[in-house]
Amino acid sequence: MVQAMISKDTVVVASKELAAADLGEEVAILNITNGVYYSLNPVGARIWSLIQEPRSVRDVCNTLVAQYDVDSDRCEQDAIALLQQLAENDLIDVVDDAPAR
């Protein structure tokens, strides 16, 4: 399956075809379809919690910049890289790739 390229305007949501568990500050994710286990560090876990409902990458980054000592450009680059990996592993769904409101 070919995945769309994720940008700051992309709206994503965690896939419903998996099981996830909080492990302290980290998250463990099991892709039920392929049986592969993934884990996210504390920042990845925060992103995971934010995308339990459809949310744009821009909104995710705005939240992270407000909560962590991170430059907005760096946050955007890192968040897009993580979300692209999650999409490539069928852990998130791209809901919309239209420009944000």
Per-residue model confidence (pLDDT) at position 90 = 92
10 Å CB burial of residue 74 (0-12, 13-18, 19+) is exposed
pLDDT value at 101 more than 60? no
| Each residue's pLDDT tens digit, 8-42 | 999 999 998 899 999 989 999 999 888 899 999 99
Q: Is the pTM of this model over 0.75?
A: yes
DSSP 68-89: SS--HHHHHHHHHHHHHHHHHT
- Whole-number mean pLDDT of the chain? 90
> What pairing do the DSSP bridges indicate for beta strands 11-14 and 55-56?
antiparallel
